[in-house]
């Protein structure tokens, strides 16, 4: 059992042992103590090391990348991720990434929060407490959480109307989001905007007109470049919007002026009820930027999204100009709450994605299998998240609607108060900035 | 299509520089201005026919074009966040030379030439405004703004309200609006009623040089989306520039009308180029003993209806004059509001509108001349209202 001193060989041997003896699939490297096989080389070695530490009482040099944490979890683990298809790029994002326990728990909690928040919105909509438009993003959690993980809070993000997840990852609370959906004064836009018009610091909505947000995003990127602060703007649109003319106008100007804009196509295979094959002459959305380099990313794998985002952000920050990412993802709900979502796709397809590619399940399995967390611990997080959502929903249902007197508020910014006409000439509302 | 529209969109240097192939009805430049113009014989005769609007002799004369240029220059200098983008605004010095000299002074970062992509660059301008810059987005004419109208209305005008007061959009959209000379239907539409319809926007319509400078400066300093409807035929018209207008802090408040001429018998309300026609009509009528009070609206939204009401309560008669189409126009709005307010009881006759003809603008000169309000049409309407 004399281990080789060279780390690469050590790793290779361990991998071989793990695969053949313990049956761990290639690429998954379990950390200390997670393998149940009593004959596992690694487990035995570590156990002996731990025993000898206790006996000797001497400070032990920690083994390469594996520390003994409380409750015996690993501090981090390395995972292999899918290679991205590239367009006009020599190299892409790395194919392995390190996930720390702390980050993993954070991502899990965030994705679970988005999931449960969207399901709660579904429930509230069916109870008619939410009205109008409601476009849910359950299934696409890896996109909003993964993108956020790859950028800084000082970077900027703009998206279209399937925006609740991004509103949360950009910093607003579930309370404010649900209260905006229910149209109450505690909503993030004071009930004035609703589902599609939520704003936060460095988050520009929530935009209702398909495709209009893309030139806006290029403009925000122009401001980033103008201000010289090394910030980037993530400009999202869907596979349906990808055929809008103004997007190509934005591509042209962004490339011409080398704007630090990351164009991101969230391809969930359907633009409302129209599948990508029926809408686009070319469904290689990552290539549609033509002269703009692009990459196609597995949008159901949060680590893949994170790495790709880091790569794209670094590209933009280096002053090379815009870049395009296509995130291949899936939405479980229909286009909106008025669309059951099964007239243009089969229930079997939805079920297949749920069982094989669910982003939360994928992260959970990885974390449990590499001893970054236990099943119980993640269940605890589930319980906490449910409670948080429940409290938020309570608030969103109980909070009063905005006062009628404020109907005319916020027409203009920074102006003295003036009068706004109501439904007839005798009804006047005061308008305050 | 690209070639044709390119041709039409680039007026063959008929205003502000170089030679004109024909003698357009475009206004001649002031002879003593710093513009190097080759005046053709017909332009010279146009000069002699053209009246200069002045109230006192021998003061500083500035064209509307130069006034806007000065206003933008001063604001670019004052605030680093201000920048100008649009087609041909930089190296070409502006399609109508309004931005002459600015690119040379401020460079590529602040004065940006865009490709022919109205929806795209208007959206980019709005996004830049959301992120804290203060863009001036020029449309070569407002006819082309229709390509981008979604960005102006849905992305700019409504955002402060939809966000519950979180996201202001400090942007100016400017450019020539309304009828020009011989440019036919697709290049002659007036958008005052269209933009004036929308809450969240401010819409200004200058007539004189003083208006132009004061309003562009106020528009740039305003934290809201402002649409400034200029007029191509007014760009070369010189006006007396009062002393206060020469100050770098000269601002005209948005939302305030100006009484250009005091009168007692009838109120005549107008905006943009027709204000000049109203003053001409007033001069003619004055000889017949009819004193018209001419009001220059200056702002379409928020409209200063109080000034109009106070005037109507004094004169008891109202005529509105505009270049745009009659149906759902600025005049229609003024009449509706007068009916709803205290001034209705002071009217001795129904309010009357003088507008553009209800047709797409024709090309032939005789047809075009009769598709916009002429001085004789205004005089006729005034006399009808006064029952003379």
Interchain CB contact of B154 with A (< 8 Å): yes
Domain end position, chosen among B199, B221, B246: B246
Number of domains observed in the structure of chain B: 2
Nearest to A246 among B120, B202, B223 (CB): B120
Contact B200 A187 (CB under 8 A): no
Q: Which residues of B touch A212 (CB under 8 A)?
A: 123, 150-151, 154-155
Confidence at residue B4, expressed as pLDDT on a 0 to 100 scale:
42
**Model confidence pLDDT, tens digit, residues B157-186:** 999 999 999 999 999 999 999 999 999 999
Query: Taking all residues of chain B, what is their mean pLDDT, rounded to a whole number?
Result: 90
The pTM for the full model equals 0.85
| Locus of tokens 């200069």 | B52
Interface confidence (ipTM) of the complex: 0.85
**Model confidence pLDDT, tens digit, residues B214-259:** 999 999 999 999 999 999 999 999 999 999 999 999 999 999 999 9
* A172 band by pLDDT with thresholds 50, 70 and 90: very high
**Model confidence pLDDT, tens digit, residues B67-97:** 999 999 999 999 999 999 999 999 999 999 9
d(CA B371, CA B326): 11
Number of domains observed in the structure of chain A: 2
Confidence at residue B253, expressed as pLDDT on a 0 to 100 scale:
98
Tell me: pLDDT of B48 over 90.
Answer: no
Q: Are residues A101 and A243 in the same domain?
A: yes
CB A166 within 8 A of CB A144: yes
**Model confidence pLDDT, tens digit, residues A377-403:** 999 999 999 999 999 999 999 999 999
Structure token pair of residue B207: 């007539």
**B293 carries an active-site annotation:** no
Q: Are residues A175 and A275 in the same domain?
A: yes
Q: Are residues B192 and B284 in the same domain?
A: no
B207 belongs to a structural domain: yes
A390 belongs to a structural domain: yes
Q: List, edge to edge, every strand of the sheet that includes A85-87.
A: A85-87, A294-298, A323-328, A261-267, A233-238, A156-158
Closest CA to A318 of A262, A251, A248: A262
Q: How far is B299 from chain A (nearest CA, A)?
A: 15
Name the percent of chain B lying above pLDDT 90: 85
Instruction: Kindly report the CATH number assigned to the domain that includes residue A299.
Output: 3.40.50.970
* B39 band by pLDDT with thresholds 50, 70 and 90: very low
* Surface-to-core class of residue B260, CB atoms within 10 Å of its CB (0-12 exposed, 13-18 middle, 19+ buried): buried
Domain end position, chosen among B190, B223, B246: B246
The contacts of residue A208 (CB under 8 Å, 6+ apart) are: A133, A160, A161, A196, A197, B154
Helix (H, G, I), strand (E, B) or coil at B170: coil
Q: Are residues A418 and A367 in the same domain?
A: no
**Model confidence pLDDT, tens digit, residues A32-85:** 444 555 555 555 555 555 555 555 544 444 444 444 445 789 999 999 999 999
Q: Which of B74, B87, B88, B118 is catalytic?
A: B118
Tell me: pLDDT of B50 over 70.
Answer: no
**B271 carries an active-site annotation:** no
Q: Are residues B185 and B322 in the same domain?
A: no
Contact A249 B167 (CB under 8 A): no
Contact A250 B202 (CB under 8 A): no
Confidence at residue A61, expressed as pLDDT on a 0 to 100 scale:
46
d(CA A93, CA A81): 10
Closest CA to A227 of A159, A301, A154, A163: A154
The secondary structure of B260-304 as a DSSP string is EE--SSEEEEE-STHHHHHHHHHHHHHTTT--EEEEE--EEETT-
A11 belongs to a structural domain: no
H or E element: which one contains B240? strand B238-240
User: What is the span of the domain harbouring residue B200?
Assistant: 61-246
Closest CA to B89 of B108, B63, B66, B62: B108
Contact B123 A215 (CB under 8 A): yes
Confidence at residue B113, expressed as pLDDT on a 0 to 100 scale:
98
Beta bridge partners of A157: A203, A234
d(CA B357, CA A318): 57
Contact B133 A226 (CB under 8 A): yes
Instruction: Kindly report the CATH number assigned to the domain that includes residue B285.
Output: 3.40.50.920
Q: Are residues A395 and A412 in the same domain?
A: no
Q: Which residues of B touch A155 (CB under 8 A)?
A: none
Q: Are residues A357 and A419 in the same domain?
A: no
Q: Are residues B232 and B334 in the same domain?
A: no
Interchain CB contact of B77 with A (< 8 Å): no
CB A209 within 8 A of CB A159: no
**Model confidence pLDDT, tens digit, residues B319-373:** 999 999 999 999 999 999 999 999 999 999 999 999 999 999 999 999 999 999 9
Q: When comparing pLDDT for A94 and B22, which is higher?
A: A94
Q: Are residues A371 and A422 in the same domain?
A: no
Q: When comparing pLDDT for A5 and A301, which is higher?
A: A301
A16 belongs to a structural domain: no
User: What is the span of the domain harbouring residue A120?
Assistant: 76-402
Nearest to B123 among A156, A212, A226 (CB): A212
Q: Are residues A416 and A314 in the same domain?
A: no
How would you classify the pairing of strands B238-240 and B61-63?
antiparallel
- Name the least confident of A13-27, A84-98, B3-17, B132-146: B3-17
Q: Which of B30, B187, B265, B317 is catalytic?
A: B187
Confidence at residue B7, expressed as pLDDT on a 0 to 100 scale:
41
* B6 band by pLDDT with thresholds 50, 70 and 90: very low
Q: Are residues A193 and A257 in the same domain?
A: yes
């Amino acid at each position: 059992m004399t281990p080789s001193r060279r780390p690469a060989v050590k790793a290779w041997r361990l991998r071989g042992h793990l695969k053949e003896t313990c049956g761990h699939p290639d690429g998954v490297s379990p950390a200390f103590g997670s393998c149940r096989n009593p004959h596992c080389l690694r487990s035995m070695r570590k156990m002996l090391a731990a025993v000898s530490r206790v006996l000797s009482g001497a400070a032990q040099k920690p083994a390469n990348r594996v520390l003994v944490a409380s409750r015996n979890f690993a501090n981090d683990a390395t995972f292999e991720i899918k290679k991205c298809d590239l367009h006009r790029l020599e190299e892409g994002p790395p194919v392995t990434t390190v996930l720390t326990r702390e980050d993993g728990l954070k991502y899990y909690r965030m994705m679970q929060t988005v999931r449960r928040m969207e399901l709660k919105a579904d429930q509230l909509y069916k109870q008619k407490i939410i009205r109008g438009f409601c476009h849910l993003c359950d299934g696409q959690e890896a996109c909003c959480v993964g993108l956020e993980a790859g950028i800084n809070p000082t970077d900027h993000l703009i998206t279209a109307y399937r925006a609740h997840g991004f509103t949360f990852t950009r910093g607003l609370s579930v309370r404010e989001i649900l209260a905006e959906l229910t149209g109450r004064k505690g909503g993030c836009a004071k009930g004035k905007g609703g589902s599609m018009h939520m704003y936060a610091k460095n988050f520009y909505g929530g935009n209702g007109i398909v495709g209009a947000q893309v030139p806006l995003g290029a403009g925000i990127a122009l401001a980033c470049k103008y201000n010289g602060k090394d910030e980037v703007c993530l400009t999202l649109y869907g596979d349906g919007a990808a055929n809008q003319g103004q997007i190509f106008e934005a591509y042209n100007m962004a490339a011409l002026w080398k704007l630090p804009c990351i164009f991101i196509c969230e391809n969930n295979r359907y633009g409302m009820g129209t599948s990508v094959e029926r809408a686009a002459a070319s469904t290689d959305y990552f290539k549609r930027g033509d002269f703009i380099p692009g990459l196609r990313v597995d949008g159901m794998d949060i680590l893949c999204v994170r790495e790709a985002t880091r790569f794209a952000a670094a590209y933009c920050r280096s002053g090379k100009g815009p870049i395009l990412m296509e995130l291949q993802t899936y939405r479980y709900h229909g286009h909106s709450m008025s669309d059951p979502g099964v007239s243009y796709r089969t229930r079997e397809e939805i079920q297949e994605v749920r069982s094989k590619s669910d982003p939360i399940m994928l992260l959970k399995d990885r974390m449990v299998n590499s001893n970054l967390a236990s099943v119980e611990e993640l269940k605890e997080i589930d319980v906490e998240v449910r409670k948080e959502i429940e409290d938020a929903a309570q608030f969103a249902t109980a909070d009063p609607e905005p006062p009628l007197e404020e109907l005319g508020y916020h027409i203009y910014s920074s102006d003295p108060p003036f009068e706004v006409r109501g439904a007839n000439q005798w009804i006047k509302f005061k308008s305050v900035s | 299509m690209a070639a044709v529209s390119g041709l039409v969109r680039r007026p063959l240097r008929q205003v502000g520089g170089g030679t004109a192939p024909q003698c357009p009805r475009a206004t001649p430049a002031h002879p003593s201005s710093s513009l190097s113009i080759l005046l053709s014989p017909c332009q010279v005769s146009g000069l002699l026919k053209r009246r200069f609007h002045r109230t006192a002799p021998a003061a500083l004369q500035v064209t509307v074009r130069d006034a806007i240029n000065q206003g933008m220059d001063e604001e670019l200098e004052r605030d680093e966040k201000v920048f100008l983008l649009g087609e041909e605004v930089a190296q070409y010095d502006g399609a109508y030379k309004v931005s002459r000299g600015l690119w040379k002074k401020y460079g590529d970062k602040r004065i940006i030439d865009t490709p022919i992509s109205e929806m795209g660059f208007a959206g980019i301008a709005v996004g830049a405004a959301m992120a804290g810059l203060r863009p001036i987005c020029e449309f070569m004419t407002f006819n082309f703004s229709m390509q981008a109208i979604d960005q102006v209305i849905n992305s700019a005008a409504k955002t402060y309200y939809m966000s519950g007061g979180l996201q202001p959009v400090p942007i100016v959209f400017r450019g020539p609006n309304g009828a020009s000379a011989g440019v036919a239907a697709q290049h002659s539409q007036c958008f005052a009623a269209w933009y004036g319809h929308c809450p969240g926007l401010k819409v200004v319509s200058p007539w004189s040089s003083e208006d132009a400078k004061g309003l562009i400066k106020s528009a740039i300093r305003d934290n809201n989306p402002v649409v400034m409807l200029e007029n191509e035929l007014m760009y070369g018209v010189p006006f007396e520039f009062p002393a206060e207008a020469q100050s770098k802090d000269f601002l005209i408040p948005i939302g305030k009308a100006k009484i250009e001429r005091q009168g007692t018998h009838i109120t005549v309300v107008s905006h943009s180029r027709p204000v000049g026609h109203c003053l001409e009509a007033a001069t003619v009528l004055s000889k017949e003993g009819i004193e018209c009070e001419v009001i220059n609206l200056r702002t379409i939204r928020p409209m200063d209806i109080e000034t109009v009401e106070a005037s109507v309560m004094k004169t008891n008669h109202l005529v509105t004059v505009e270049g745009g189409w009659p149906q759902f126009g600025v005049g229609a709005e003024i009449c509706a509001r007068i009916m709803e307010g205290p001034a209705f009881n002071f009217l001795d006759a129904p309010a009357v509108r003088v507008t553009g003809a209800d047709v797409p603008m024709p090309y032939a000169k005789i047809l075009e001349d009769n598709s916009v309000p002429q001085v004789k049409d205004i005089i006729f309407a005034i006399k009808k209202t006064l029952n003379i």
